[in-house]
Amino acid sequence: MKKPLLCANWKENKDLDEAKNWVSEVGGELEKDNRQIIVCPPFPFIFPLFEEISQKNWKDFISLAAQDVSHFEEGAHTGEVAPEMIVPACKHCLVGHSERRKYFGETEKDVVLKLKDLFDLKIIPILCLANLDQAKFYLENVPELSQKEAILVYEPPDAISGGGAYKPEDENAVNQKIAEIKAKINKSDLVLYGGSVNPDNISNFISMPNIDGALIGQASLDPASFIKLIHQSKL
């Protein structure tokens, strides 16, 4: 039976109380269902949530991922967070999200450096791909990508929700694109879809043979909505 992987990307949202409340509501539900999810909180919440998850013995259900890391070495780089600093709380780390490119000028070369650092530290990257050319570029420049475990996300920037409005890509088109990505990668990494996934459309996506799960922004913020997503993603 397919067990779709759901990954919640909170982006720049929530305060610490809301973050803890989300974990306690969603964790309780996952425990009942024996499901595992990944959540990407803002940096300041990572370690408090890690403590909470450890105390409740929920590490098998909730895995934490940072939303990004620095490609600079530890040192005099004000405001940056090195990948070493998210260990041991984060088993995974989101990298190459199109919002990093759109708002902060991140380049594909920066992403290459980040990927190498993450692989060195045995943190599993959750690599966002806006198109096939990016997949090709990263494969050519990061040999580890064809050898070590990674999670990939096909996320066309135009499909990302904005101002509360959802504008998902057609699930058949996504299925086809992901088939092409899988053929390029040529190993058994999970490939998720990201972009306006919500409780009403999740089942359309995850019922497609090539889509292994979803990266969810807007619809992951409210714990009740995320719990609905968990239920709707049972196949």
Q: State yes or no: is 92 an active-site residue.
A: no
Instruction: Give CA separation, 215 vs 72, 79, 193, in Å.
Output: 26, 26, 6
Q: Does residue 151 belong to the site contacting ligand PGA (CB under 6 A)?
A: no
Phi, psi angle pair for 178, to nearest 5°: -70, -35
Min. distance of Cβ 4 from ligand PGA in angstroms?
15
Using CB under 6 A, which of the segments 52-60, 83-91, 118-126, 189-197 binds ligand PGA?
189-197
Chain centroid to CA 203:
18
Q: Which stretch binds ligand PGA (CB under 6 A): 46-54, 117-125, 141-149, 190-198?
A: 190-198
Among residues 22, 196, 212, 230, which is the contact residue for ligand PGA, using CB under 6 A?
A: 196
155 is an active site residue? yes
The reply on whether position 215 binds ligand PGA by CB under 6 A is: yes
Is the link from the previous residue into 88 a cis peptide, with omega within 30 of 0? yes
Q: Is the dihedral of CA 83, 37, 188, 131 positive or negative?
A: negative
| 161 near ligand PGA, rule: CB under 6 A | yes
Q: Which amino acid is at 143?
A: P
- For ligand PGA, the binding residues in 216-235 under the rule CB under 6 A are 216-219
Residue 199 is a binding residue for ligand PGA (CB under 6 A): no
Q: Does 41 engage in binding with ligand PGA (CB under 6 A)?
A: no
**Residues in contact with ligand PGA, shown as a per-residue x/- string from 1 to 20 under the rule CB under 6 A:** --------x-----------
For 75-103, give one letter per residue: b (16+ CB within 10 A) or e: eeeeeebbbebbeebbebbbbbbbbbbee
Q: Tell me which of 92, 99, 106, 155 is the catalytic residue.
A: 155
| Cα separation, 86 vs 14, whole angstroms | 19
Phi, psi of 215 (to 5 degrees): -105, 120
Q: How far is the CB of 74 from ligand PGA (least distance, A)?
A: 28
Segment interacting with ligand PGA (CB under 6 A) among 49-57, 113-121, 141-149, 193-201: 193-201
Kind and range of the H or E element at 113? Answer: helix 108-120
User: Which of 26/197 has CB closer to ligand PGA?
Assistant: 197
Whether the Cβ atoms of residue 5 and residue 216 lie closer than 8 Å to each other: no
Site residues (vs ligand PGA, CB under 6 A): 9, 160-161, 194-197, 215-219
Positions annotated as catalytic residues are: 97, 155
